[in-house]
Structure 1
Amino acid sequence: MQPAVSHRVLAVIVAYLPDVGVLRALLDTLLAQTAGVFVVDNTPATDRRVEALCAALPQPALHLIRLGENLGIARALNIGIDAALAAGATHVLLSDQDSLPAPDMVAALLAAMDDLQCAGQRVGAVGPTYTDRHTGITFPFQAHIPGRVFYGHRRPDAAHPTVEALTLITSGTLVPAAVLREVGPMREDFFIDHVDIEWSHRVRAAGYALFGVGAAVMFHSMGDQALRVWYFGWRQESAYSPVRVYYRIRNFVALCRLPFIPWHWKLRNGWYWLGFVYTQIVFGRQRLAALRMAARGLRDGLRGRMGPWR
């Protein structure tokens, strides 16, 4: 499966104190599938691991942008997207540092986007089917289910190789350059967490559709590690640090304040976040700290206090 000649896909990877072996595997995979890769490094200037890794891969298609400090995922994405657009990208592939795409993921995403556009769809972005490395869970996509008020979940299958999704995660998402220019940049005051969710809703509010692609496969780390929890039965969830609990709760509250996000999505997603807080403060390793940071996130979200945690 080969992308059309007119496509020029450039990838943007955001790095922050990465596992060098995992990042190396990601770079090798994306360099083989795209016209070029921009690594935007949020790692502090005193830590040169990303610089050393890129220097060990002397390829003209690999570009390193060192920021010298952690400016947040959203800011790093915007810097990388601007660089990719300036370099002539027709499509930009976004990626976290701890993902591993299948060897044909980009081609599968491009093929699906071409098919959807030929069918008359106004495509804002497409994303892969992804499996969490920690839990082994392959995630479905949030989707409208006919006859239901609240969203449900759907997986692509042989009859429906693509699923119209309400949101896509950042990593593995392929976006046409024209959509990026029209919809605008990621919200930098979110810093981390829900940056992709806010942008997904903004894309849909602009009249575009998002699609999950069954033929495009990616492995991805959702949290810090696996966490065994009881939630109407024992199951595996992802564990997060207390600081991440803060950002995830604060930024969800910020999402609820946005008028272009449907109220039924907010209500349905709110149930999920109640469950998230429950799992982190009852089963997590830093339960008291997680509770405190969840409360602080709720307070700051209600106050509209955004940006990096202080």
Structure 2
Amino acid sequence: MSIGIVVILYNPDVEHVNHLIDEFASDDWQIAIVDNSPHPTQLDLASNCIYSHYPSNLGIAEAQNIGLRALFSQSIGYCFLLDQDSSFSPVIAASLYKQFIALEKVSPVAAIGPAIHCQFSNTVQEGVIQKGKQISLGLKEVKQIIASGMLISQQAFEKVGEKESALFIDGVDHEWCWRAKRKGLKVYQSQLVSMPHRQGDDRVKVLGITFKQGTPVRLYYQLRNVLILSRRRYVPIYWKCRHLFAIPLRYIVNRFVFENGQERGQFMRKGLRDGIKKNYGPLK
């Protein structure tokens, strides 16, 4: 049975994406590439690829929905979600798929993902507060996983529903996992395979605390979606507290320590206003 792979692009490293396509250039895999870049990305597409371009940028959530719908409509039962910079391989995919199949024989499964190897700290990431429940030597049950490397089934996608397009970006993957758990499905993280991954452009330590440094506009979505999601009952309390209480410190660091502080401050203030007003979708 073929397994699907959905790759979301936005001004990607073409060489890296072509390498990813080459890795999965087999009839065993079906690839849906959804490109949110302003201009079409010139890729060496294989015969098992379908390419869709949306220059207006639909956001990561809707792009994932488009890719998943396209592959699931071809009677593909399982799909991976990947970012454009994901360091993913058939070996990782096969291991996760094998674990997923074994798990769903026991209980309803929403998703499984690899352990994440942070390329900044060169360590496998652990939850700061929620470290997950150890199920076996190679498996944890967790509250949420990131989208990159996430494997979901058509059955879970239909039961949980699509990714929330209105969030646009940031919090999309976590929200879907929390919604899945509310519906009785479980989320797992494999300890058998790890995937190198970058979150943000850099890490900066201020007064002994490490902060992720991304583009200024991402701060708008991060703060807006924290305020939006924190109102929902199914969102974990620890997540609400951690992110809400961190807002003042994040604002000070981004506004007065990081470069482009004035621009960062403007995006954060706009995000807070729109979060309070429940303004969804892309930044106007």
TM-score using structure 2 length: 0.91
How many Å separate the matches in 1 of 2:221 and 2:75? 34
Give the aligned CA root-mean-square deviation in angstroms: 2.3
Aligned to 1:161: 138
Aligned residues: 284
Matched, 1:290 2:277: no
Matched, 1:105 2:92: yes
Matched, 1:12 2:6: yes
Aligned to 2:278: 304
Moved more, 294-303 or 202-211: 294-303
Correspondence list, 1:20-169, <5 A: 20-31=14-25, 34-44=28-38, 47-48=39-40, 50=41, 52-53=42-43, 56-57=44-45, 59-118=46-105, 120-141=106-127, 151-154=129-132, 160-169=137-146
Aligned to 2:164: 187
How many Å separate the matches in 1 of 2:65 and 2:77? 16
Contact 1:13 1:96 in 2 (8 A): yes
Query: Taking structure 1 as reference, are residues 271 and 31 closer, same or farther at Cα in structure 2, changes over 3 Å only?
Result: farther
SS at match of 1:152: coil
Aligned to 1:222: 199
Contact 1:141 1:163 in 2 (8 A): no
- Unaligned ranges ≥5, structure 2: none
Aligned to 2:235: 261
Query: Taking structure 1 as reference, are residues 164 and 278 closer, same or farther at Cα in structure 2, changes over 3 Å only?
Result: farther
How many Å separate the matches in 2 of 1:269 and 1:86? 37
Contact 1:141 1:166 in 2 (8 A): no
Aligned to 2:149: 172
Contact 1:14 1:95 in 2 (8 A): yes
Deviations 1:243-286 (A, max 9, x none): 10111110111111222223343223434555544543343212
Query: Taking structure 1 as reference, are residues 105 and 305 closer, same or farther at Cα in structure 2, changes over 3 Å only?
Result: same
Percent identical among aligned pairs is: 27
Aligned to 2:222: 248
Moved more, 121-130 or 269-278: 269-278
SS at match of 1:65: strand
Contact 1:141 1:165 in 2 (8 A): no
Deviations 1:179-232 (A, max 9, x none): 001111111111111111111111111101100001222122211x2232224x
Alpha-carbon deviation of 1:134?
Answer: 4.1
Aligned to 2:188: 211
How many Å separate the matches in 2 of 1:30 and 1:282? 45
- Unaligned ranges ≥5, structure 1: 1-6, 143-150
